[in-house]
Amino acid sequence: MTAAIASDPALELDRTPDLVELAGAARDAGHDVMLFERAVPDAVSIAAVGRRFEIVSTPEGADLQDGDGRVLESAPDSNRLTAAARLWARLAAESSVVNGPVGTGLVAVGGFAFDPGREPSGPWAGFPAVLFRVPALAVTRVRGRTFATGDLQLLEQPQSWRGPVARRFDVQPTRAEADWLAAVAEAARRLRGGEADKVVLAREVMAHADGVVAAGAVARALRNAYPACFTYLVAGADGTAFAGASPELLLRRSGLTVASQPMAGSTARGENDAEDRALAARLAASAKDRSEHQLTASHVAAVLSGVCATLDVGAPEIVRFTNIQHLATTISGELRQPAPSALELAALLHPTPAINGSPSDAAGRLISELEGIERGWYAGAVGWMDGRGDGELAVAIRCGLLYEDGARLYAGNGMMPGSEPEAELEETRLKLRVLLGALSG
């Protein structure tokens, strides 16, 4: 890069377009699309259409590319997230970033795979290990106001006909449940033997549909069913789309403030308030779940303490979502200067024990030996970052890889030495309902 890159001013809109509908219509029209939305008043939600620049992983690190895929700059680094963060800092430094609301000006939306160190394969061929895109149009909603940055003509997307909507699904695990139960039993045995303290094992199921699975409709259904979660949608280069509704905040950086809310340990919702409270009380009293949760919260706190001047670690609490309750700990701090950017923080934090296990390397070996699936972007992260270094990333769980006529759905659990295979299987079924209920839109 040799010339300053202009950043378009953010224009406040008189009307507030539905971000999910905009993203869905743009995808139907053939545009590159990303969406990150949370329906709470102070949250930043962004619909991204088209491409202006991309930061994308390479075998050597990461490249900055223009909208036509030409490489503008490369950053070699064995840690691809660190390489991507370096390119983003350089782009921001050479851009005339217009002061405006958070999430406007120079902004990128995207995410990364569970293992950013290698390119996803098989069904995830349309997704690089790391991808953050500066879109041709970004529509940002924050604190009840909506701003558009870029090509305003992309606000108007034509309606398209996509054929009969899917109503029935044939759902089959990609790995026999008996085999997965055996893998859980083996994991628990090896944990008792001291190979690791915790490991997360995931399941994958295939849902074959009798009609069209429209990504926009799935995202809308997820938002409506799970309004307290992060709704996300990322279109793949091969016609697939990655969609989900995540309850878990990996990190939020705003100036010198950083926050994370790791979650580990879960139970179902009850039929009424009394059942809810009883289930929550059992979860809070469970030695297995408390220990599992403490591993995750302690990891996040330890990492952030290394970059923070002050750190506040809350007590574990029960957080409730539409169909599930989790143990969660809120951790926040004031970053020391020079403050790391959102993506630099992600490179430090990921993967947490919530989606990998502990210790990290030992858990990773167990996953490779026992899980038997290609995770791709499942258990990675999705979100946004801006030219100030601020941003927000959610853990990419409660998700699926969508096709025209079906989906691959993912759910995982943290295994401990005392894990019971049948109980772990039932918990994955509970989590998989998040996507199954949304597939027909």
**Residues involved in catalysis:** 198, 248
Burial of 348 (0-12, 13-18, 19+ CB in 10 A): middle
Rounded Cα gap, residues 141 and 138, in angstroms: 10
Question: What string of DSSP letters covers 343-370?
Answer: HHHHHHHPSPTTTSEESHHHHHHHHHHH
Q: Which of 245, 272, 266 is nearest to 437 (CA)?
A: 245
The neighbour count for residue 268, using CB atoms within 10 Å, is 15
Q: Classify the phi-psi angles of 304: left when phi > 0, otherwise alpha if psi is within -120 to 50, otherwise beta.
A: alpha
Helix, strand or coil for residue 151?
coil
For 103-133, b/e burial (b = at least 16 CB within 10 A) is: bbbbbbbbbbbbbbeebbeebbebbbbbbbb
What residues does 62 pair with on adjacent strands? Answer: 57, 75
Rounded Cα gap, residues 305 and 63, in angstroms: 31
Q: Which of 151, 23, 132 is nearest to 81 (CA)?
A: 132
Cβ-Cβ contacts under 8 Å for 165 (sequence gap 6 or more): 211, 212, 214, 217, 440, 441
Cβ-Cβ contacts under 8 Å for 176 (sequence gap 6 or more): none
CB 110 within 8 A of CB 80: no
Question: What string of DSSP letters covers 268-321?
Answer: E--SSHHHHHHHHHHHHH-HHHHHHHHHHHHHHHHHHHTTEEEEEEPPPEEEE-
Q: Which two tokens stand for residue 328?
A: 């969660």
Q: What is the DSSP letter of 212?
A: B
Rounded Cα gap, residues 356 and 378, in angstroms: 11
Segment holding 81, helix H or strand E? helix 80-93
**DSSP alpha helices (H): ranges in 116-200?**
177-192
